[in-house]
C-alpha cells in the first residue's frame, strides 16, 4: 500500500490468502488488513470483493453473510463458470447482501477473468433449465 501511495499508482490490488468465515482469528486478520490499508491511504480499501467458486453450493450463502457482517463487501467475483456449475447461488447472495457481481472467471488464463454480463449469465441459467426439462 505504501509503495503504491509513494509511487502514485492508480490501483493497488491486495489478494488475501483463503479465509475461513468460521475462524474468528482469521477474520480478525482480514479486518486488520482493512485498517492497515486505511492508514496508508484514507478511504481505502475502496472496494472489497469476495471471490466465490461457482461450484460451491448453498454453503456459499452462509459464508457470504459472515463476511458481509465483518466487513463491507462491495462486490463478488464468481469463478469457475467454465465448468458445469452455473453459479445460480449468487442470485441468493446478491439478493441477501445487495452487492453486485463484478467479474466472472471462465478459465485459467489471464483473459478468462471477464466483466460480469448479467444477460449472458441469466441466458446460461435458463438454457440449463430448459435442458433439464427436456
Ligand atoms: N477452470 C477454471 N479454473 C480456475 C478459475 N479460477 C481459478 N481457477 C483455478 O483454480 C485454482 C485455484 O485458484 P486460486 O486463484 O489459487 O484460488 P484461491 O481461492 O486464490 O486460493 P487460495 O489463495 O489458496 O485461497 C488454480 O489452479 C486456478 O487456475 C476459473 O474461473 N476457471
Ligand atoms: Mg489466492
pLDDT of residue 133: 53
Dist. CA 134 → ligand 1 center (Å): 33
Find out whether 11 and 25 touch, Cβ atoms under 8 Å.
no
DSSP string, 41-60: STT--S--EEEEETT--THH
Tens-digit pLDDT profile for residues 18-38: 777 788 888 888 899 999 999
Residue ID of nearest Cα to ligand 1 atom 22: 18
* Confidence band for 125, pLDDT divided at 50, 70 and 90: confident
pLDDT of residue 36: 94
pLDDT at 54 over 90: no
Instruction: Report d(CA 95, CA 62) in Å as an integer.
Output: 13
- Domains in the chain, please, with CATH? 1-46 (no CATH), 48-134 (3.40.50.300)
- From 33, 79, 87, 106, mutation site for ligand 1 pocket: most ligand atoms within 8 A of C-beta: 79
pLDDT of residue 66: 83
Amino acid at each position: 500500500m505504501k509503495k503504491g501511495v509513494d509511487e502514485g499508482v492508480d490501483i493497488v490490488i491486495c489478494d488475501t490468502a483463503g479465509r475461513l468465515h468460521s475462524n474468528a482469528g482469521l477474520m480478525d486478520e482480514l479486518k486488520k488488513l482493512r485498517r492497515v490499508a486505511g492508514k496508508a491511504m484514507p478511504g481505502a480499501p475502496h472496494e472489497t470483493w469476495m471471490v466465490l467458486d461457482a461450484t460451491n453450493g448453498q454453503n456459499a450463502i452462509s459464508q457470504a453473510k459472515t463476511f458481509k457482517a465483518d466487513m463491507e463487501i462491495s462486490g463478488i467475483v464468481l469463478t469457475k463458470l467454465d465448468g458445469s456449475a452455473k453459479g445460480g447461488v449468487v442470485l441468493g447472495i446478491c439478493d441477501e447482501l445487495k452487492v453486485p457481481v463484478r467479474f466472472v472467471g471462465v478459465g485459467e488464463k489471464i483473459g478468462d477473468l471477464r466483466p460480469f454480463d448479467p444477460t449472458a449469465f441469466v441466458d446460461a441459467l435458463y438454457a440449463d433449465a430448459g435442458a433439464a426439462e427436456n
